A and B are shown apart, each in its own frame.
Chain A
Amino acid sequence: MYRRVSILLRKHFVSVLILCASIVIPFSSVKAADPNAGKALFQQNCASCHNVHKRVTGPALKDVESRWADKKLLHQWIRNSASVLASGDKYANQLFNDYNKTAMTAFPALSEAEIDNILAYIKDEGSKETQPKGGEPAPAGGAEKGSDNSLLFGIITLILAVVALILMQINSNLNKLAGDKEGVATPEPVPFYKNKAYIALGILVLFMVGGYFTINGAINLGRQKDYMPEQPIFYSHKVHAGINQINCLYCHAGAEKSKHAMIPSENICMNCHKAINSYSGPELFTAEGKKVDGTAEIHKLYDYVGWDPEAAKYTKPGRPIEWTKIHNLPDHVYFNHSQHVVAGKQQCQTCHGAITEMDEVHQFADLSMGWCINCHRTTKVQFADNNYYSIFEKLHQDIKDKKIDSVTVEMVGGTECQKCHY
């Protein structure tokens, strides 16, 4: 009863496509203060605590540059806030005190240019008005056209079949007439519903159609594309990863290290939600259209972890949240997230869909073997960039000889049984 099938996907098919494309397109080389490059950096480093337009764990960053007297100091602050505090800067210390003395993470690895990019992005984003996205009308997609065609073909087939039947009937009538004329006795016509040929044909058609549906049904046993169970907490990926642009890997840290992407432990949630105890974003609705109180959902989290938001401290021992698992692979499949994310450089959205648009997550792909294999057949590996592949001498030679222009996963053995089954 927890299962609800969503039609969201079809509705947003095109936006998903566009989004995927925009993600897959590699970031162009960095020029001075490139807001696009800054966006990526912002999502990776800043978004877990900052939003451009509103105060979260840290202050809203809109117009941040104007608030800081000295650009150099701002850079220093971003790289290592503790050093600015130690220097006794007044604004910095006031900021620190305003935010419950929560220290900002140091980013010593960020270069000047990278910080400029981030600031450029903030400026860019800040100049836009805040307006809830979403609800953009989905233009008629190719998918619908496809179904139209099949309907058309179906109708044509039906018409042709009727025509063929009529012609056969006419043919037999003519035969009968010709026979009558020549005086050849013809047997009394059998009504078509008693005609053995027709019955046999009917059974054959029924068998084929029935078989088709049975087999397809059997194949789909255990598959649950569009599976969207109700979760213990209405957690919106759209709010977190979409509107607030928190990097996926901030919570799903395992995706880079392990076979499991990892559902974040509750202490990860509390990194931000110690400070953020109410929801003030766009209104949230369940798939059925019921309104959701975001603040109440945050308080459900507090209940699980035993946090008292009034006293701002843990008062009870925590208990785990029992999420309902959406993406279930059969037991005999080995799947490794880090392989796809780090070595394969795949975006999360490739398999999980437009996760940043989903309030409630549903299963985007059918996770069938055919789906896996198709991707392995078409996806290119980082053949030239990853030195691991240097051992494939023949393929390198083929590229040099212009016999092939790229190497797919399949060409390095990625469709063999024991790459996933052991």
Chain B
Amino acid sequence: MEQKKYWKGLEELHNTDAHQEIVKNEFSEELPFESEGLLNAKTPRRDFLKYLGFTTAAATIAASCETPIKKAIPYVNKPEEITPGVANYYASSYTIDGEYLPLLVKTREGRPIKIEGNTSSTITQGATTAKAQGAVLSLYDTARLRFPTIGGNETTWAELDKQVTAALGGAPVVVLSSTLLSPTTKKVIGEFLAKYPGSRHVVYDAVSYAGILGANEASYGKRVIPSYHFENAKTVVSLGADFLGTWLNPAEYAKQFSATRKINAKNPEMSKHFAFESIMSLTGANADERYTHKPSEAGAVALALLAAVGGSVTAPTLDPKVAEGIKKAAASLKANAGKALVVSGSNDVNVQIIVNAINNAIGANGTTIDLANPSNYRQGNDADMAKLVSDMNAGAIGTLIVYGANPAYDYVDAAKFTEGLKKVKTTISFNDRVDETTELCKFAAPDHHFLESWNDAEARTGYFSFVQPTISPLFKTRAAQDSFLTWTGNTTPWVDYLKAAWVAKLGGIEAWDKALQDGIVEPATAPAMGGASFSGNVADAAGKINSAKKGGKLELVLYEKVAIGNGRLANNPWLQEMPDPITRATWDNYACISNTLAKTFSTQLGDDYEIHTEKKVLKIKANGKEVVLPLLIVPGIHPEVIAIAVGYGRSEKTGKAAGGIGKNAYIFSSFNGTTVDYFAPEATVEATGANYPVALTQTHNSYEGRPIIKETTLEEFKQNPKEVNKDREELLKFGKDFRKDATLYGNFSYPGIKWGMSIDLNTCFGCGACTIACQAENNVSVVGKEEVAKAHEMHWIRIDRYFSGDENNPEVVFQPMLCQHCDNAPCENVCPVGATNHSSEGINQMAYNRCIGTRYCANNCPYKVRRLNWRDWNGADSFENNLYDVADMNDNLTRMVLNPDVVVRSRGVMEKCSFCVQRLQDAKLTAKKAGRPMKDGEAKTACQQACAADAIVFGNVNDKESAIYKIRNEEQTERMYYVLEETHTLPSINYLAKIRNKDAAPKAEKESAHKEEAHHA
């Protein structure tokens, strides 16, 4: 099969001069002298001697001959369950903003340090997201409120309670919360509100799903979000729903969807996934067929699809390419009726009614959509919120209690909300920091972080999980439920209240203890799935869609980033520094535009757009608002669309990491009378002439066109499964055994264990959970925007995103890249001090304390996975003033997140993936102490554990019963390949070729592609 051309960005595709320059000079870097004077000084020799003398003297003093006296301080009374040095795990749950992830929290000496998914949950099956992995860092956020305040001044809880209870009563009380999954919390709120007649609870989601809720109310008489079952779908059509990245509960859907994407030659079947969208979302990037349309056409696309699957509506005219796609999608949906699913990311009730009609027509109800057991993931009602804001402005609200919501930042009309808030007599915020809303509230009664709290959560009817404290509260915060109970006049502490409710429900204290230990309570047998009879008014919805305002020349659309989401957790340096899966940008938001649109700002595309960090700044106007943001070219975005991520532009008080970064894009959302629209059909853009640097990791670590990705289509794979690996036959010319025959050197033996990893490119969706999990597990440093721009980012596992094919609608492939632990590692040969060498278990070891920072190893690594500590990120140097910390990562509070089994690395030291050696050693030790061989799956790497799609398999290759052995030798021999295998580095990580479920490329196109490649070569 011809090698397809892959490119990370347009600069690589066009092979611009600056790109060539970067590739050529990848490893040369000017020494970071702060003053230019040293070498140009008049007497450099004397200066040199001075510096030399000074550094020698300083080093001597720093290394001081006196050994410091250390103290060992035991407990006075050791808690029975704590053994210093041994981790304890507690079941908990991530339920922020309605996302549902049962978790296991790893604690060491009483501090949570790592989050894992709870595999007992049948809903998420242990899946996690980058946000959930990062939540443990938010616990130690220095910007959290440390005590209750009144008017911004510290107070005591007693004083606050006194003033609040005095102020309550009279006028109606409103509790304004984001989606709450906890039934018991809702009960507490209900009891509180019952005490104050005329009061109500308004649920408000920063990114609203009121469209789906409203449509289901209209179609099925139930204002619910159904449970989706992607695992049952053979055809999935996503109409702008980023269900793998940000839509509702992405980890759950990624888990389900990945089950339909696992494929081997014996059973070459997989689902087909169509995406129709305006931006390049994570879900679109993973689609088999992807089409772009303008955001204002979302309704038209849905209508056309309904018409194509046999609905009684007339299809509107669409771009011929999109129309073609709809035809294909409809054919596939019809062919797989009862095994098909259509999801839409639109927040328009009418569009969602049409989507319901499509799902009804293709038999999705009761098979891939479960309305009998709906999920509670989002409950916000935009109309209620709009009413509340106008009531506030009318002075009809006496007390507003804000619980998790932040409308002063993210509401459609934040100004009106702020204005209304001034007219509310008593304003109380439970939020964890002085965010935009809390700043305006009189009382701040900070809630605990969820890792400090008790709670429960109901994902679907009958499916519960629990939240229990993993650390005692760090600050003088109080559970919101305790505040409600106190103000209700109920003296029962919240923990007792919750316990009593559950003991009564489960029928005993033992059952409650077990529920806490398991973390979940689920029905013994899954309740039967059920549909509902569709009674939506399709004609009316279609009419409304057709009469909606048509888009202008340019349209603007808002989207959520995988890591930052709606912005609530934005003050998290790990998440800020995680490269966006698609744009590979960090620490900023920007205006994503297409290649074609970018051309209109300059006669010619060049390195200014693609290579240099300085991006042209645009002034974007829509809905009467304007924002100034740098542009970023994203191949695959619709040419008439500008996309901006929400969640940025937070106030300075929200914290050092999030404060002042990017611009708030929520201002462009609008209220259409029932729901909030996250797009503006008419936008104008002009260049300001200014430039702004954006720290992209895209241009780092170029592969210079070497073939590292393998992919094929399902059809070709079925016909000839070996085709995708045809080039491996080349290796046979060295002899039968490439490992032995292609080298002069002797073979290194692995007498006991030989670790190996397999990464399935078909189920890696690129979500980045592994990157953050690795960062948490291995104390990987945060470097900040300036340093990312210099290619100094430290992530041990990065997810390379490659485009291929059409520049305007490219195909995307994600390839997690980490140290390959080569058996014949090029880095090992060049280390002058033997700091990196090979273990008998196949690990490419890195001894930090030996490393002198020559960077020879990084230069010689064909996979470009080695990271040098260019600065002292962790305070690990002997010199205190060397510390470089841009995001409060070295506060004594924040440092509590560090994993005590892994060192922090000092300046001038190389580091890279260790295969989570601390976990491997721990698993081995457990087996050794028990006197038994290690079981397969006992040792798991952090990335493997975090992966929602199970794309990563890890284990002992010498064990013939292990999953990794079976993948390599039995199940996936056709798809299995090693990156740059021909260089005889003998990596310990293999990849499984990606298979796209699309029509095989026509012959002619293939040939022309081939010709083009020849031209490039």
Contacts and interface: CB of A to CB of B under 8 A. Distances in A.
Interface string B836-848: 0101110101111
Interface in A1-44: 2
A183 B847 CA distance: 70
A305 interface: yes
Contacts of A388: 924, 927-928, 930-934
Contact of A422 (B78, B840, B841, B917): B917
A162 B4 CA distance: 81
Interface in A350-402: 385-395
A387 B74 contact: no
B72 interface: yes
Nearest to B749: A394
B860 interface: no
Interface string A410-422: 0011001111011
A204 to B, nearest CB: 24
Interface string B819-861: 0000000000000000001011101011111100000000000
B76 A413 contact: no
B65 interface: yes
B65 A332 contact: no
B76 A267 contact: yes
A260 B85 contact: yes
B83 A305 contact: no
Interface stretch (A58-66, A195-203, A317-325): A317-325
Contact of A391 (B840, B843, B959): B959
B745 interface: no
Interface in B902-921: 902-903, 914, 917-918, 921
B752 interface: yes
Interface string A245-264: 00000000110011110111
B752 A412 contact: yes
B847 A417 contact: yes
Interface string B746-757: 000101110000
A277 interface: no
Interface residues of B, number: 52
Interface string B62-82: 010101011111111110000
Nearest to A339: B925
Contact of A325 (B72, B840, B929): B72
Nearest to A322: B71
A340 B651 CA distance: 53
A91 interface: no
Interface in A319-350: 319-325, 328, 330-332, 334, 336, 338-339, 342-343
Contacts of A421: 845, 847-849, 903
B753 A391 contact: yes
A272 B324 CA distance: 84
B914 A422 contact: yes
A413 B77 CA distance: 39
Interface stretch (A109-117, A126-134, A221-229): A221-229
B933 A325 contact: no
B929 A343 contact: yes
A321 B752 contact: no
A303 interface: no
B901 interface: yes
Please report whether the interface of chain A is mostly helix, strand, loop or mixed according to DSSP: loop
A387 to B, nearest CB: 5
Contacts of B846: 417-418
A324 B70 contact: yes
A380 to B, nearest CB: 15
A324 B69 contact: yes
B958 interface: yes
A125 interface: no
Contact of B917 (A325, A392, A418): A418
Given A339-B928, A343-B925, A319 B71 contact: no
A130 B87 CA distance: 45
Interface residues of A, number: 57
Contacts of B839: 413, 416-419
B849 A332 contact: yes
A392 B752 contact: yes
B842 to A, nearest CB: 11
A144 B850 CA distance: 36
Given A254-B83, A322-B73, A387 B931 contact: yes
B911 to A, nearest CB: 10
A323 B84 contact: no
Contacts of A264: 74
Contacts of B840: 412-413, 416
Contacts of A386: 928, 931
Contact of B70 (A258, A325, A334, A393): A325
B86 A318 contact: no
B653 to A, nearest CB: 36
Contacts of A336: 85, 921, 925
Given A342-B929, A386-B928, A417 B837 contact: yes
Contacts of A422: 901-903, 914, 917-918, 921
Contact of B77 (A254, A265, A343): A265
Given A258-B84, A320-B76, A391-B753, A338 B903 contact: no
A265 B903 contact: no
A224 B924 CA distance: 32
B83 A257 contact: yes
Contact of B85 (A259, A263, A319, A418): A259
A267 B76 CA distance: 6
Contacts of A412: 751-752, 840
A192 to B, nearest CB: 36
A405 to B, nearest CB: 17
A266 interface: yes
Nearest to B927: A388
Interface in A89-124: none
Nearest to A221: B65
Task: With a 10 A CB-CB cut-off, give which of B72, B843, B921 has the most chain A CB atoms.
Answer: B72
Nearest to A390: B933
A214 to B, nearest CB: 12
A222 B63 CA distance: 9
Contacts of A416: 837, 839-840, 845
Interface string B54-67: 00000000010101
Contact of B847 (A259, A305, A392, A418): A418
B958 A391 contact: yes
A331 B845 contact: no
Nearest to B929: A342
Given A267-B76, A321-B74, A260 B84 contact: yes
B620 to A, nearest CB: 48
Contacts of A389: 752
Nearest to A224: B67
A330 B849 contact: yes
A262 B270 CA distance: 54
Interface string B248-266: 0000000000000000000
B70 A262 contact: no
B84 A254 contact: yes
A332 B958 CA distance: 30
Interface of A: 2, 221-222, 224, 229, 253-254, 257-260, 262-268, 304-305, 318-325, 328, 330-332, 334, 336, 338-339, 342-343, 385-395, 412-413, 416-419, 421-422
15 contacts: A221-B65, A254-B85, A264-B74, A265-B78, A304-B76, A323-B73, A325-B69, A325-B71, A387-B932, A412-B840, A416-B837, A418-B847, A418-B917, A419-B921, A422-B918
| 5 smallest beta-carbon distances between A and B, as pairs | A258-B85, A265-B78, A318-B76, A265-B75, A418-B845
Interface of B: 63, 65, 67, 69-78, 83-86, 749, 751-753, 837, 839-841, 843, 845-850, 901-903, 914, 917-918, 921, 924-925, 927-934, 956, 958-959
Given A265-B78, A319-B76, A392-B751, 14 more contacts: A257-B83, A265-B75, A265-B77, A318-B77, A324-B70, A332-B903, A386-B931, A391-B933, A391-B934, A393-B751, A394-B751, A416-B845, A418-B914, A422-B903
